[in-house]
Chain A
Amino acid sequence: MIVVVLPAHLRTLARVDGEVEIEVDGPVTQRSVLDALETGYPALRGTIRDHATQKRRPFLRFFACGQDLSHESPDAPLPDAVGQGREPFLIIGAMAGG
């Protein structure tokens, strides 16, 4: 079980109150976590990754275990603590806008 923390606007969109728990088959990577998240919550499709390029939206950041993983490869393994559900995968809105 993977724990994902969404920014407030995406919690509203996904109609969840707090952390989201999802199951991931196979290696735990950004891509597999986001694939599972979008499968469970289709309203989030296109809001975290661009539909066409699958790239992270520029003003979102990914953190886990005190590390900024935003620029890691989407297929790189996430920390073991994320895969074991002990630490959440954080999706954060970057400081931007007004």
Chain B
Amino acid sequence: MSGVRVLVGTRKGAFILTSDEERREWNVSGPHFPGWEIYHLKGSPADPNRIYVSQSSGWFGQLIQRSDDGGQTWDPKGNEFCYEGVPGTHQWYDGTQHPWEFKRIWHLEPSLTDPDVVYAGAEDAALFRSDDGGKTWNELCGLRDAKGPLWQPGAGGMCLHTILLDPADPNRIFVAISAAGAFRSDDAGQTWLPINKGLRSEFELPDPAADVGHCVHSIAMHPSRPNVLFMQKHWDVMRSDDSGDSWREVSGNLPSDFGFPIEVHAHEPETIYVVPITSDSHHFPPDGKLRVYRSRTGGDEWEALTNGLPQSDCYVNVLRDAMAIDSLPSCGVYFGTTGGQVYVSPDSGDTWTAIVRDLPAVLSVEVQTLP
């Protein structure tokens, strides 16, 4: 019988939520790694029992854990993330140059085909790859040749938080970096191109045509149409129909074009989801109403999804990696909040229920659709 395994990273541990395909009754496992910040967990598409975890703390630094039995047992793997060669510098808040310093792994992206290959997105922004199941890591340092000295951290740090692997072209990788922008490699990560044409950041960047420096919060792709990308930016929801070569705004009638996550429906490539948040300084839902917005037209036209979500006095945030989509026939949508709730909609967003309500602040949500 098919079902789902929802992987939840929080400020104080990881939780695994499992259900059958109805997604009405849930088993909650955890906390795994209690007390540690779990920025991200993600399962291998090539081996659903293999799960990679980014575990960190201010005291003990970065760890990478791996499970090969669906999250029942874990083993620490390699945690040596060294920038290739002379680390170099990037821009600092005061405009001076600052040495690249490793802080943590924000995102782990396992290969679509090889369970031993996994990519890691780091703060300070860099992309690492492991070919041995997480034991050793090597930087794909060509990324920082894409004007790396001009990147500078935003308020949340300079993190590489999104990694998209093109299912149609194993040499094509997309990444996004806060306060730097989106980038594409067409040669398996050796060389990189900024793909930020059409993005506007008029309050931050004096040059409206700047090719780096844009604060991209998340990008998403439907596997059947990898040349179409969707982006939630610091301001604006954007769409590209040419693999990121150019972008146009599709914010349309959203109550706020600011937000963090963006996801695509599993079976409808023109159906996308965002969670609007009031401005970049308040970081809570407009009017205290927690609403997911869905567009069934690939952007521009949006409808508020509210059935089952709190519609008064709600001041949580939904972070960039805290939304996920399953691929069951009735597509499921999941998101977690900084208030510790994880919501599920088993009907593409029409109705919502909270699976759990009192977790630590949720940093990430991923879902595995199990056979």
Contacts and interface: CB of A to CB of B under 8 A. Distances in A.
Given A9-B35, A43-B76, A52 B58 contact: no
Interface string A73-98: 00000000000000000000110110
Nearest to B102: A52
A51 B80 contact: yes
B191 interface: no
Given A9-B35, A13-B76, A57 B60 contact: yes
Contact of B36 (A9, A45, A93): A9
Interface in A48-62: 48, 50-52, 57, 59-60
B170 interface: no
A7 interface: yes
Contact of B59 (A9, A43, A45, A51): A9
A94 B59 CA distance: 8
Size bracket, chain A contacts: 10 to 19
Contacts of A39: none
A46 B79 contact: yes
Contact of A7 (B58, B59, B81): B59
Given A47-B63, A52-B82, 10 more contacts: A9-B59, A13-B76, A43-B76, A46-B61, A46-B63, A46-B80, A47-B79, A48-B60, A57-B60, A57-B61
Contacts of A69: none
Contact of B60 (A47, A51, A52): A47
B44 to A, nearest CB: 22
A57 B82 CA distance: 16
A95 B230 CA distance: 43
Contacts of B36: 9
Nearest to B35: A9
Contacts of A57: 59-61
A22 interface: no
A9 B57 CA distance: 10
29 contacts: A7-B59, A9-B36, A9-B59, A10-B60, A13-B60, A13-B63, A13-B76, A43-B76, A45-B80, A46-B61, A46-B63, A46-B79, A47-B61, A47-B63, A50-B61, A51-B79, A51-B80, A51-B81, A51-B82, A52-B82, A57-B61, A59-B58, A60-B59, A93-B59, A94-B59, A96-B58, A96-B59, A97-B57, A97-B59
A52 B80 CA distance: 8
B104 to A, nearest CB: 12
Nearest to B83: A52
Contacts of B61: 46-47, 50, 57
Contacts of B35: 9
Given A9-B35, A9-B36, A59 B80 contact: no
B62 interface: yes
Contacts of B76: 13, 43
A45 B60 CA distance: 10
A63 to B, nearest CB: 15
A96 B76 CA distance: 25
B175 to A, nearest CB: 23
Contacts of A50: 61
Interface string B84-126: 0000000000000000000000000000000000000000000
